[in-house]
Structure 1
Amino acid sequence: MKNKNQILNPIFIVCLMTLLLNDFYLKQTFSNILTGKISDFVGLIVFPIFIAYIFPNTKKWISIATAILFIIWKTPIVTPIIETINQILPLKVQRAIDYSDYWALIVLPIAHKIINQDRKLTFNSSKLLKFSKIGVASLSFFAICATSMPPPVEIPKGTIYIGEEYTIKKTKEETIEMIKSLGYNVDFYKNLEDSTTIKKYRSRNIPYYQTDNIVIYDDNSKPIDTILNVKYTLYEPKENRTKIEIINVTLSEDGNIQKWQTLKYLRKQYKKTMEKQVIEKLK
C-alpha cells in the first residue's frame, strides 16, 4: 500500500524547518563548519522523503539512489555540469567539495524507515490533509532548490577588520619583492590614524604597509571582485622569518558596515580570500 502521508511525519517537518532556518539565517549569520554540515544531514532526510512522496514507486530504492547521487555530487565529476548550468540558467548552483560531508549518509536509514513505514496519520478533514501535504510539499521543493543556490548577497561597501597573522619563511625584503612580483604595489605609511577598524587597545599610530586593487579570482581564474586596498604590518622576529599581519581590507571608500553579524561573516570570507589570493602565494 502506498503511504503518501510520510511527508507530514514530525521528523520530516523538523528537518525541513531546520533546513530552511539554516540556509536562510544560520549560514549568513555564523558561516562555520557546523552550518555547512547541518544542511547535509537534514537535507539527506528531506530529499528522499520528498521524492518518495512525489513518486511513490521509488520508495524502495530512493534512499540508496540518494546516497549514490550525494557521493557523486561531492566530487569534481559534476563540476563541468554545474558550470554549464550556471552559464545557461539565470539561477546559479553552488556546491562545496568536502569529503567529510559523507558522514551525513548515516541518516539515510532514518529516511528509509519513514518512507516505508505503514503508519498513517488521521485527520478529521480530508481537505485539511490534502492542503497540509500540498503546503509541506511546496515548502520542501523550495528548500531543496534553495539549499543549492548561493544566497543573494549585496556587495559590501566599507572596511572590514581582519586581524590575522601569518609567518612567511622569507626575509622582509624578500616578502615585499614577492608581493610586487604578483603585480601589486607595496606602499609604506607611518601610522593608521585614519583607521576606524583597529582594536581599541592598539595604538593607531603604528607603521603599516598598503597594497591596492587586489583582484579576486574564482576557481576558473575569472576575476569576480576587487579589494580596494589591504593594510598590513611586516616585521622579522628572527632571521629568514617574516610576520605579516593583515589589519583590514577596504572594499570601497563610500561605505560603513554596521551590523556585527555581517562584519563577522565578511571577516571570515575575506580572511579566506586573502589567504588564497596572497598568503599562499608568498609561502
Structure 2
Amino acid sequence: MQKRLSPIISFPFLLCLGLLILNDFYLKTTYHNLVTGKLSDLCGLFIFPIFWSVLLPKYRSGIFIATALFFVYWKSTYSQPFIDFFSETFFVIERTVDLTDLFALPILFAAWFSLNRNQHKTALTLWQKRINPYIIAAIAIFSFYSTSKARHTQRFDQPQYVLLKTDNLIDTIDYEHLQYYRFDSLLVVKIEEIDLSKHPIKYDDYNKNAAIKNLDYSISQMLGNGVHLINPGTITYLNIKTPEGVDSVRFNGGRLDGKFIRKKNGRIIIAGLYKNGIEDSIWAFQNDNGELSGKVTFVNGERTKIQLFKNNSVIKTDHINTRKEVVRYKLIQIVILIFLFTGIAFVLIKNYRQAAEKLQMKKLWKWILCIVLPLVVWCIHFAVTLLLGNYHYDIFIVYGTAILTYLITCPLFFITVFGIQLRKQIDLLWYTLLFALAFSIWIEIDIYLELAV
C-alpha cells in the first residue's frame, strides 16, 4: 500500500500541493497578479489526476483525459448552470472564466511522467517513509475545494467611486470588478465589490462601511506605482457617463462627499447624499417612467428603513436593524440560552439526588451512546444556529464546528456515562441538550464579541 501511495508523497506532488494552498490562501489575496492567477491552475492540474490515479490505478488514462476535458468545461461559460446549481444546493463555489487558463493543460504531461516515474520506484527514500500519505491525501482533498471556494467579498449596492491622480495607462483587465473613467490626469475608479481579508461575521452595512473606510488608499495600492491620492479638502465636481446613466458626483479629496444624482434619458433615477464615501440621509429611486419606486433611509451609512412605492404610494416598508441593535439582540439571545442551560442543569441535579439506584445498561450500549450522542449534540447546536439567524456559515465553518463539537463532547459523554452514571433514561436527553446549549453559548459569545468590536 505504501508503494502504491508513493506518488502523493513524492517531492513534485508535495511541492505543487504546498504552492496551491499557499497561493489560494495568501499569494492571491496579497499580490493578485498574472502569476498568482495561473499558479493555482498549474499546481491543481498537476496534483488532481495523480491523486485520483493513485486511488483508481486501473483508470488512470481515463482520469487524465477526463481531467483535461473537465478543465476545459470548467473554464468555459457552459459550466455556469452547474456552478449555480451546486452553489444553491450544497455550498458556494466560484471560478473565473478565462480561456488563457487553458495554456496550463500541458502540465498534465508532466503529471503523467511524474506518476509513472514514482510507480516504478523500487523503494521509498528515508524522508518519504516518515510522511503519512493519508494525511497528505486529506490535505489534497481540502485543496481541491479551497481552489474553487467562494471569495470573501463586499458588494456595494449604491454606486461607489474613488478619485485618484495618475498619468499612467491602467491595465483594465487586471481587476474585473473595477471600471475606469479618465478626466485628464484624474482617474475615477468605480468599484462594484472589494475582496476581504477574512470572512466577515455578518454582511451588513456596518461591514460595508468598514470595508470602504480607506477605499481610495486600498485602490491606489492595488493599481500600483504612479497612482496618487488626492489631498482631503480638494473639491472636484464630475459628470461620469456609465452604461447605467450619467452620474453627477462631488469628491472631497478622493472620496464621494455631497449630492449624488444619476440621470438616464434626461430623468433623475437615483438621488442621494454621501458623507466621506458612505451613504447618508434618504436616497430616492425612480423607474424609467419617472415614477418613485423606492426610498432608503441611511443613518451613518447603515440602512434603517426601506420603502417600496407604486403609483407614488407606499406598498411596503421594512425596518432594518443597525449593528448596535444586532449586538443588543444577540446579547438577549445569549441570556436566554444561559437561562435554558441553568434550567436543564437544575433538572439533572434534581434527578441525581432523587433516584437512589443507578441506571443499568450494557457496556456495549454505553460505548454506542458515547460515540453517537456527540453527533446529536452537533445537530442540536446547528438547529440553534439556524434558529438564532447566525451569519453566512460556509462549508469550512460547518465542518470545523462539527469536528470541534465531537472532540469536546465525546469525552464528556464518557465521563457522564461511565463516571457519573445516569439515574434515569431521560437524563440522556437532558445531558445531550445541556452539552448542545453549552457549546451554542460558547459560539454565540464569540459571535457577540466579534459583532461588538
Q: TM-score, normalised by structure 1?
A: 0.58
For the residue of structure 2 that corresponds to 1:92, the secondary structure is: coil
Q: Are 2:145 and 1:145 aligned? A: yes
Deviations 1:76-116 (A, max 9, x none): 11101101111122x21111111111110111111112223
Give the match for residue 261 of structure 1: none
Give the match for residue 48 of structure 1: 49
Contact 1:211-1:230 at 8 Å conserved across structures: no
Contact 2:257-2:276 at 8 Å conserved across structures: no
Q: Are 2:9 and 1:8 aligned? A: yes
Contact 2:258-2:275 at 8 Å conserved across structures: no
Contact 1:4-1:56 at 8 Å conserved across structures: no
- What are the within-5 Å matches in structure 2 for residues 251-270 of structure 1? none
Give the match for residue 176 of structure 1: 239
Deviations 1:198-227 (A, max 9, x none): 9xxxxxxxxx8867599xxxxxxxxxxxx9
- What are the within-5 Å matches in structure 2 for residues 55-204 of structure 1? 55-89=56-90, 91-117=91-117, 118-122=120-124, 132-152=132-152, 153=196, 154=200, 155=207, 156-161=211-216, 162=219, 176=239, 178=241, 182=245, 184=247, 186-188=248-250, 192=252, 195=253
Contact 2:75-2:97 at 8 Å conserved across structures: yes
Post-superposition shift, 1:120? 4.2
In 2: Cα distance, 1:19 partner to 1:109 partner: 18
Contact 1:49-1:111 at 8 Å conserved across structures: yes
Q: Which amino acid aligns with 2:21?
A: L
Q: 1:5 to 1:159 in 2, by over 3 A?
A: same
In 1: Cα distance, 2:259 partner to 2:123 partner: 64
Q: 1:99 to 1:136 in 2, by over 3 A?
A: same
For the residue of structure 1 that corresponds to 2:32, the secondary structure is: coil
Post-superposition shift, 1:132? 1.1
Post-superposition shift, 1:134? 0.1
Post-superposition shift, 1:22? 0.3
Give the match for residue 371 of structure 2: none
For the residue of structure 1 that corresponds to 2:105, the secondary structure is: helix
Q: 1:142 to 1:188 in 2, by over 3 A?
A: closer
For the residue of structure 2 that corresponds to 1:78, the secondary structure is: helix
Q: Are 2:93 and 1:30 aligned? A: no
In 2: Cα distance, 1:69 partner to 1:85 partner: 16
Contact 1:86-1:92 at 8 Å conserved across structures: yes
Deviations 1:47-102 (A, max 9, x none): 1111112222222332222111111111111101101111122x211111111111
Deviations 1:12-50 (A, max 9, x none): 100000000000000111111211100001111011111
Q: 1:176 to 1:209 in 2, by over 3 A?
A: farther
Q: 1:183 to 1:110 in 2, by over 3 A?
A: same
Post-superposition shift, 1:182? 2.5
For the residue of structure 1 that corresponds to 2:215, the secondary structure is: strand
* Structure with max Cα Rg: 2
Contact 2:239-2:249 at 8 Å conserved across structures: no
- What are the within-5 Å matches in structure 2 for residues 221-240 of structure 1? none
Q: Which amino acid aligns with 1:63?
A: F
In 1: Cα distance, 2:275 partner to 2:16 partner: 42
Q: 1:158 to 1:137 in 2, by over 3 A?
A: same
Q: Which has the higher contact order (CA 8 A, sep 6+)?
A: 1
For the residue of structure 1 that corresponds to 2:92, the secondary structure is: coil
Deviations 1:152-187 (A, max 9, x none): 44352413124689xxxxxxx9x8384697275x24
Deviations 1:135-168 (A, max 9, x none): 1100100011100102344352413124689xxx
Q: 1:74 to 1:179 in 2, by over 3 A?
A: closer
The sequence identity of aligned pairs, in percent, is 27
Q: Which amino acid aligns with 2:144?
A: I
Q: TM-score, normalised by structure 2?
A: 0.38
Q: Which amino acid aligns with 2:10?
A: N
Q: 1:177 to 1:143 in 2, by over 3 A?
A: closer
In 2: Cα distance, 1:32 partner to 1:125 partner: 35
Q: 1:67 to 1:159 in 2, by over 3 A?
A: same
For the residue of structure 2 that corresponds to 1:23, the secondary structure is: helix
For the residue of structure 1 that corresponds to 2:61, the secondary structure is: coil
Q: Which amino acid aligns with 2:121?
A: R
Q: 1:76 to 1:253 in 2, by over 3 A?
A: same
Give the match for residue 222 of structure 1: none
Q: 1:113 to 1:182 in 2, by over 3 A?
A: same
Give the match for residue 21 of structure 1: 22
